[in-house]
Chains A and B, each alone.
Chain A
Amino acid sequence: MIAEAAGKNEETLEISEGMSVSDLKDQQIKKYQIPDPESVQLAVNQDLESSVELNEGDEVAFLPPFAGG
């Protein structure tokens, strides 16, 4: 869903000193106009956690809710 909005599956980003996961989320949501940002969860290195500071080499996954069955 988010990959569709962004038109890509992954992207390598430069991060600024002291950037947190939620900063990154805000930045990317704006950049790709991802709808309904509040419901989107982020996982840093496979851990669903939104308050930590990012380090070089971290992998961040964007997870939208979906409900099909």
Chain B
Amino acid sequence: MRYERQIKLNEVGSSGQARLHKASVLIVGVGGLGCPAAQYLTGAGVGKIGLMDHDKVSITNLHRQVLYTESDIGKPKALVAVNKLRQLNSEVQLIPIEESLNIENAKLWFSQFDLIIDGTDNFETKYLINDACILTGKPWIYASIYKNEGQISVFNYRNGPTYRCLFPSPTRENISCEATGVLGVTPGILGTMQAAEALKVLLDIGNVLSGKLKLINILSGTEQTLTIKAKPGEIELIKVNGIQPVRVNCEIGDKKRIYLDVREEFELPTVVSENVIHIPLGKLEERFEEIPNEQEVLVFCQSGSRSLKAIDLLKENFGFHNLKNVEGGIETIING
């Protein structure tokens, strides 16, 4: 009954529905793109959906991440999303993953799913998804937004091109870390299209957007589809050498202040700036002397909780009284 209206389609049928039930999708980043993708794939009855996000719901998310509501503010996105989606479809196995994707965990998570949806908002993670998909043999559905424009493509699908075939040279620019502004509908449309591509791949129907990059401009109402060719050398390089981390430096909101970054080295996005000191939480006891103890130091991590621990430790053991926690972690810093 539940899936009657999609089973009616010749392309789906009951065999297609059974196929979806056996399928699994990992959504990396449950934000503007990931929320609509998760909602439609849950509705469609994909058997297992992993929802990966280390972030918490904030009030500035709500204009575009309409899965969340005001009472969710401050709660982990992965957990909130699972609870909401379970109410939509209790037949789907929903797995909350409260982690950020990194070089250590990417291959392990990817190997447990049939395809990956990119709901991320930074270059480092997009290249990381790309490389981990090449190494685990998984297709992935890419999308990106800049203001009123969106791009979407399916990468690493049946020996098709990958993200590195489209953009072989990672950008060295300190751009797009600053929030540029976006209408809520833009990621809504692109995320929904990602769900559509995922269904096409899982059901093996229609023309999958592999070898093609679709560009959509919401304001001008125009779209273009460009042809992308596979660059076997780019793919081979990853197969031989493994994940090649890409680092794009983010601008820090305020250059006059001193920051202490207590994250591990592999955590993204990387912040390299003269006014930032990097000491992972576990190394503070041996390296505390590198931290200035007179002027105010703003301490941050990924989400704002490890930095609190760091402040406690430095206060109690080494008498620091000039430390202030950055609530909301790295996002607060780069978005100012």
Question: Which residues of A does B touch, CB under 8 Å?
Answer: 1, 35-36, 38-39, 41, 43, 46-49, 61, 63-69
Tell me, yes or no, whether B192 is within 8 Å of chain A by CB. no
Closest B residue to A66 by beta carbon equals B146
B40-66 interface bits toward A, Cβ cutoff 8 Å, 1 = contact, 0 = none? 000000000000000000000000000
Task: Encode contact with A along B171-183: 1 for CB under 8 Å, 0 otherwise.
Answer: 1110110001010
Chain A contacts of B123 at CB under 8 A?
65, 67
B172 engages A41 (CB within 8 Å)? no
A46 with B170: CB separation less than 8 A = no
Cβ–Cβ contact A61 & B224, under 8 A: yes
Q: Are A39 and B171 in contact (CB under 8 A)?
A: yes
Cβ of A67 and Cβ of B226 under 8 Å apart?
A: no
Bits for B2-33, please: 1 = Cβ < 8 Å to A, else 0.
Answer: 00000000000000000000000000010111
Contacts across chains A and B counted by CB atoms under 8 Å: 79
Distance between A48 CB and nearest chain B CB, rounded to angstroms: 5
In the bound complex, residues from chain B placing their C-beta under 8 Å from that of A35 are 173, 175
With A48-B227, A61-B224 already in contact, 12 other A-B pairs whose C-beta atoms are closer than 8 Å: A36-B173, A46-B225, A46-B227, A48-B229, A63-B215, A66-B149, A67-B126, A68-B146, A68-B176, A69-B32, A69-B119, A69-B121
A58 to chain B minimum Cβ distance, whole angstroms, is 14
Query: Bound state CA distance, A65 and B166, in angstroms?
Result: 9
Nearest CB on B from A46, distance (A)? 5
Question: When A and B form their complex, which 6 residue pairs have the shortest distance between CB atoms, in order from nearest?
Answer: A66-B146, A69-B121, A36-B173, A39-B171, A68-B145, A38-B169
